[in-house]
Amino acid sequence: MILTINHGPVRELRLNRPPANALSPELIAALTGAVEAAVKDGVRGLVLSGSPSFFSGGLDVPLLLKLDRATMNGVWRDFYGLLRTLACSPMPIAAAITGHAPAGGTVLALFCDYRIAAEGDWKLGLNEVQVGLPLPPVIYSALQRLVGTRQAARLAIGGLLVSPAESLGLGLVDEVVPAEQVIDRAVKWCQEWLALPSVAMTWTRRQARADLTQLFEQDVAREIEKISGWWWDEQVQSVLRALMERLAKKKQ
């Protein structure tokens, strides 16, 4: 589910779960393990990428709707564990957003250091409200950190999905480049940071990301418990199942 490609001191972790790189329990665990393994291997920079046209379609809702309460609660804990691993990574991480990145796809990018999106008719954003889910506080805080208070409220409450160009204007991504260049540009960005004096870069990066890492020093367990409760809310389940039925009919 994760293709590992080394570019000198920079390692690319490419999501490889067709067709949309949707985040299943197995993919969440595999990505967490891959980031942790990179640290142990002495990798100095990471690029998180996807397949052409899809970075990640977010959580695999059709699969998750089949899980029982205990298993689903574990999925939320593991997902938060993945976000913590990204946020607290000792090495710079660039997100090479190769295509669509709704919901969980954008969430992964929020916790990286830098975000480069491919030009194209793709959509990014946090559309959780559109599908009946409140946006978790940790994720909202990470969004607000990037785009500011006013735009975070507009994007999150409306559950808006926006183009790469609009994402750039909002500060949701840092660059937009031709699709064939997005991974190379992400690797080059990592190399540029790694070329800086290491002690100065590392300590200053740690300061710059302190607000992000501190999100996980609060009572995250209580937040996860609340989110798990939201998932089983009757209205949320109804909206999600109706959405899955509409998508299934479109495929027929």
Strands ordered across the beta sheet of 175-177: 2-7, 10-15, 45-49, 93-97, 114-118, 175-177
Range of weakest confidence among 21-30, 175-184, 220-229, 243-252:
243-252
Candidates 215, 224, 49; CA nearest to 143 is 215
Map residue 95 onto helix, strand or coil: strand
In a domain, 135, yes or no: yes
In a domain, 219, yes or no: no
In a domain, 168, yes or no: yes
In terms of pLDDT, which residue wins out, 178 or 132?
A: 178
Question: Is pLDDT at 252 greater than 70 in this prediction?
Answer: no
CA 90, chain centre distance (Å): 18
In a domain, 44, yes or no: yes
In a domain, 75, yes or no: yes
Alpha-carbon distance values, 6 to 3, 165, 180, 185 (Å): 10, 29, 18, 15
Tokens representing residue 183 in the block: 């991974």
116 contacts 201 by C-beta, under 8 angstroms: no
pLDDT of residue 26: 98
Question: Is pLDDT at 251 greater than 80 in this prediction?
Answer: no
102: containing domain: 2-199
Candidates 92, 130, 108; CA nearest to 57 is 108
Q: How confident is the model over 192-234, as pLDDT tens digits?
A: 999 999 999 999 999 999 999 999 987 888 999 999 999 999 9
Question: Is pLDDT at 56 greater than 90 in this prediction?
Answer: yes
Cα separation, 62 vs 20, whole angstroms = 13
pLDDT mean across residues, the chain: 95
Question: Is pLDDT at 164 greater than 90 in this prediction?
Answer: yes
Q: How confident is the model over 25-39, as pLDDT tens digits?
A: 999 999 999 999 999
110 contacts 146 by C-beta, under 8 angstroms: yes
Alpha-carbon distance values, 105 to 33, 38, 164, 249 (Å): 18, 21, 13, 24
What's the chain's length in residues?
Answer: 252
Cα 86-91-96 angle, rounded to 5 deg: 65
Question: What is the band of 132 on the pLDDT scale with cuts at 50, 70, 90?
Answer: confident
Q: How confident is the model over 105-127, as pLDDT tens digits?
A: 999 999 999 999 999 999 999 99
In a domain, 225, yes or no: no
In a domain, 59, yes or no: yes
**Residue 6: CATH number of its domain:** 3.90.226.10
β-pairing, 45-49 with 93-97? parallel
Number of structural domains in the chain: 1
In a domain, 227, yes or no: no
